[in-house]
A and B are shown apart, each in its own frame.
Chain A
């Protein structure tokens, strides 16, 4: 058991877990034919069958049970604040599974020349009363019961009066902001707290409009017809949002250090903070001189990188990689798509730059509070 816990601790380090998930992701939600082939070969499609759901629920539950009986994980797991995260894990898994299950069912039907299951509904319509309103009302009551029972069973986790001289360690945002807080490790607040959340929400919403491949695709679940769109959405939502919340909740301990779920939260743990800016890399490490005193000159290499990333790279993509896609959707949709895509990609990119090269900022102008 201990070696299993150890293995989980090691695997859950963000460098490893993030890489693993990112690598596996296209095989779970294959965006292209090649991935699809391997997806089939490895049997990942079974996740979206009923046994797949049961197995994943059982695995998650086992993980939590194991955590409950572990003295260290128990502390984080049983915190009243963290209860919503446990619910979140289950609800995300179940909802994702449900949609994918339905999509796969429909894909199968369409492969066999049938219409999607949604077409079998009576006359393709439902009455608002009683079908919709009644069910909503029942759901409302169920939810009220749930909230009442929850509030009776678990006391509100209130803390002492806020004291600027004695802040809690770790200081955690409310659970729904923990993904943002995780981003703050890599980006400045104006980016991680303002620009990215905005771009992410707008971008995720825009995905269906940018990746349309056929005109007759509304009104039913399907994966095959929308592989790229679903892949991108799922990556942005599941990995860059939910997974980061999960990490922030369970794996971030004192001093915002990373701790495996079964690790003791030792406040004395130290991790070397030797992050270096790109300008320092360029001028000091490569050119072996001091930093130029002119701020713009000093950060020129950073500006160039950002311009290349956001300005040149899309052109290159349009020319060599995504020209089919460009032809299909036209320049406007394409440029939005690439902008959002690159913005989203910048988060994992920066994470890896940090992990691999200890890169602190690409552009670092603390004098103007402008860091990227």
Chain B
């Protein structure tokens, strides 16, 4: 067309070439685009996993075949046998079959005739009815027309029906005949397939998985379904997702259901077959609690990111925002996956060390979340260290003052002691929970030390205003026998909450490579306890480690305090041990025998008036114009200045967060609210000039806890504005636990039905559980399988305070309430004492509700159980107790047991009032099952054979024989007898008298407190 070359400015051949080249490039880029689009990571993983699955299924198939091999051959032989029998009858069968076909066609025809006739009759019926309803309009002779026809048709129909039914009958019979002939084969077949069921299932799965096992057309189909573009229909390799409507992701202007695509790559996550597989195919480590449909958290209902966080829709390693646990795994990931933190996702995945923090959003109400040990520890430390005193945490509020009441501090310690203590608590008690405010990174300069010394002086002057000052002049009056005091201290139960560990060998430096920690760490110069901190360890630290008391306080104070702690601190968690005058004196002497000479020798600088003025001026200038401030300062006398500085300092350091100080009862918490700290954007955390830690919220928290003042480094800050969070010298594992807890305080929203409390009818049980923790009940008792550390100190576990498992179904709530309000003696030979806690009725009710909740028994009122003393059961029970010699160990009212005090067991006269009848039968049936390790032997219950032996009547008596070995009835009889044992219920006075006369001569050394018949 364009042959006139000169008309054109460009050479057409050149353009053609360019067109060809660019078109080629375009095609290449399109192909590249398709490949890129279809080359998702998850597809690669799914292909690998399919191979793994084929292998696993093949192995399973082999195993399944091997398992049924013997049976298979037997049943196969049977089947073949039956079939061969059938073959011999082939002729006969053929005949019957042809007959059946014939009958079938006849039946079909007869049925059709019948139905046609019936249809006509129905139509006629209508006409007849219509005719009848209009009868007055029609001539008379006409009216019989349809009716006549109708009647003849009815007769015909009956004939047809009979014919049809006859043929059907014949047909059925022939069919049954045929089936009977084939019955053996059918049975053999079904037996065989029963045997082979597992094999068949596995095989069917394998056939779907393994392309090699597919038919040709299926194989083609299997390839085609995953081709680009048409793979929207039913691909094999696809994004797998779980939609969880109850777990919302907040996109700021709306909340959307979580869509978890994690299983697109984590393909073996809920399949126990892949426990040893490589990631991402590995099985979840805790299938009992998670993912499987039998577990508490099925995959379909909870998904993945509700707990693990991360970008739920991400389908690559990067876009799911995986987060490494440590610097090493970070490095590995960078090498292997080109990993980097996705900067734009605000909720990156929790590194596995912090996953437990997610439990809290649904289980925030109940303490001690099962499976959440780290979180539980973190929450316990938050209570213990009083974090929630300074930092408001709505979902985990402060329940009590963790430090002692300071309103009568002057009677307890000297001013000098208080100053040294405030300045450096660990120098007095190396493992105290009182944190260090002073001599920290941002206040250890000379000027700051001077300032702090003055502040401490002012605070102490302020706290010690009372006339009553501690003195040791009257110590003699309160001194008893220290050795006996030690015995009492160890045996009465003090050690359920208190330690006395002063031996320096108990201390150890941290056995951790500090350089490997991802944060800067401040090591305490006073050492750490050897034991790793865990919940059980914390129950030993409920009260302070009572070392150095001789250097701290007076005998008078200790005496008065241990006799009635509430006199000094109405809200104290320390219970009243109901000590006698002498006991208190002995214990006082024991505690006073510990001194701390180093601490005594230290001197604390006196008040520096100039510095006091400086501090006062600093605070005044902050609040008032300078001239006014100067004027105010000049008008203050020394006491006023002291008071002013003390007030400012107490408010600055937040002393009132942990201690009751008069005048500060309603002071606001001083720290940042942590209610949604876990959701705080990283940009809102002040990293200051610290660049060596990761830019992540948990890295910041770790660093803050390890070195609370570090973010002031290199900053120029006025003394009044310096960071003041004190240093608790937490161990790295404690830091990890606390960070887990902090991360759990977040804004994540879950649906009401996902909240654990949704399934709890009585919310007061939560309060009960919290009280059990608050008062350290688990220091002495095992509750819900946890606690009772005092047993280790007392010796064998059976010599410790009772295990309270099944307490909720064991005792009557009314009795328990009475007992808790006013503990009475139950186990006569126990030296360890149930203390008196002063809780309100509300609180005790919650505690009882909690016990009942543990055993799923929530009735507060139950009908009284009446014993029929005339019944056979009762008489049988009487005989049983006689034969079982219960009276060897048990008290019957004031009747002492026949055996010595060592084996004494509870007063049986108490049973009816105390124990629930159902539980008692359960207990008598098998004490070991209810309370493993108890010394109570199971009462001997005769068997039917024994009762039917000769002479049985003389041995067992009439009533037992009448029961004919009915075990349940015999146990009930024993219970009934037990319930009707008369006598004094409270025999504490008698027992006390006995021990006053005889002493605890059994047992042996201090920490063996003999008692028997552990749990009732």
Contact = CB atoms under 8 A, between A and B. Distances in A.
Interface of A: 121-122, 126-127, 130-131, 134-135, 137-138, 141-142, 144-145, 148-149, 151-152, 158-166, 169, 268
Interface in B2-50: 2, 6-10, 12, 15, 18-19, 22-23, 25-26, 29-30, 32-33, 36
A130 B252 contact: no
Nearest to B35: A152
A158 B683 CA distance: 19
B818 to A, nearest CB: 54
Contact of A149 (B7, B12, B29, B681): B29
A122 B9 contact: yes
Nearest to B345: A160
Contacts of B684: 166
B251 interface: yes
13 contacts: A122-B6, A127-B8, A130-B2, A134-B12, A142-B25, A145-B22, A145-B29, A148-B26, A148-B33, A158-B344, A160-B345, A164-B252, A165-B252
A149 B32 CA distance: 8
A131 B18 CA distance: 13
B346 interface: yes
Contacts of B681: 166
Contacts of B32: 148-149, 152
Q: At the interface, is chain B mostly helix, strand, loop or mixed?
A: helix
Contact of B7 (A127, A160, A166, A169): A127
B826 to A, nearest CB: 59
B683 A166 contact: yes
B15 A135 contact: yes
A127 B29 CA distance: 31
Which 6 pairs show the lowest CB-CB distances between chains A and B? Answer: A161-B251, A159-B344, A141-B22, A148-B29, A163-B252, A160-B344
A158 B10 CA distance: 44
A160 B683 CA distance: 14
Nearest to A129: B2
B25 A145 contact: yes
Interface of B: 2, 6-10, 12, 15, 18-19, 22-23, 25-26, 29-30, 32-33, 36, 251-253, 344-346, 681, 683-684, 689
Contacts of B6: 122
A127 B6 CA distance: 11
A258 to B, nearest CB: 21
Contacts of B33: 148, 151-152
Given A160-B345, A169-B683, 14 more contacts: A122-B9, A126-B9, A130-B10, A131-B10, A141-B22, A141-B23, A142-B22, A142-B25, A144-B26, A159-B344, A160-B344, A162-B252, A162-B253, A166-B681
Contacts of B344: 158-160
Contacts of A131: 8-10
Contact of A160 (B15, B346, B689): B346
Contacts of B15: 130, 134-135, 138
A148 B30 contact: yes
In this complex, the member of A130, A152, A169, A268 whose beta carbon has the largest number of chain B beta carbons within 10 angstroms is A130
A148 to B, nearest CB: 4
In this complex, the member of B6, B22, B30 whose beta carbon has the largest number of chain A beta carbons within 10 angstroms is B22
B8 A130 contact: yes
A137 B20 CA distance: 12
A135 B29 CA distance: 20
Contacts of B8: 127, 130-131
Nearest to A137: B19
B27 to A, nearest CB: 9
A127 B252 contact: no
In this complex, the member of A126, A141, A152, A164 whose beta carbon has the largest number of chain B beta carbons within 10 angstroms is A141
Contacts of A122: 6-7, 9
Contact of A161 (B12, B25, B29, B252): B252
B10 A135 contact: yes
A157 to B, nearest CB: 8
Contacts of B12: 130, 134
B992 to A, nearest CB: 67
Contacts of A158: 344
Contacts of A137: 19
A131 B8 CA distance: 7
Nearest to A141: B22
A37 B29 CA distance: 51
B19 A121 contact: no
Given A149-B32, A152-B33, A166 B346 contact: yes
A148 B33 CA distance: 7
A278 to B, nearest CB: 32
Nearest to B254: A161
A141 B26 contact: yes
B18 A138 contact: yes
B279 to A, nearest CB: 23
A163 B12 CA distance: 56
B787 to A, nearest CB: 44
A164 B12 CA distance: 58
A137 B18 CA distance: 11
A208 to B, nearest CB: 26
A121 B29 contact: no
A160 B7 CA distance: 58
B677 to A, nearest CB: 15
Nearest to A121: B9
A202 to B, nearest CB: 34
Nearest to B251: A161
A151 B344 CA distance: 20
Contacts of A144: 26, 29
Contacts of B251: 161
Contact of A138 (B22, B253, B346): B22
A152 B36 CA distance: 7
A261 B33 CA distance: 35
A180 B683 CA distance: 27
Contacts of A152: 29, 32-33, 36
A138 B252 contact: no
Contacts of A127: 7-9
A127 B9 CA distance: 8
B953 to A, nearest CB: 86
B697 to A, nearest CB: 13
A102 B25 CA distance: 31
A164 B251 CA distance: 11
Contacts of A268: 689
A142 B23 CA distance: 8
Contacts of B10: 130-131, 134-135
Nearest to A157: B344
Nearest to A166: B681
Nearest to B16: A134
Given A162-B252, A166-B683, A134 B19 contact: yes
A147 B521 CA distance: 51
Contacts of B252: 161-165
Nearest to B684: A166
Nearest to A169: B683
Contacts of A149: 29, 32
A246 to B, nearest CB: 24
A274 B239 CA distance: 56
A164 B253 CA distance: 9
Contacts of A163: 252, 346
Contacts of B689: 268
In this complex, the member of A122, A134, A145, A158 whose beta carbon has the largest number of chain B beta carbons within 10 angstroms is A145
Nearest to B680: A166
Contacts of B30: 148
Contacts of B19: 134, 137-138, 141
Contacts of B345: 160
Contacts of B2: 130
Nearest to B252: A163
A121 B7 CA distance: 11
Contacts of B26: 141, 144-145, 148
Contacts of A151: 33
Nearest to B342: A160
A303 B87 CA distance: 117
A109 B862 CA distance: 117
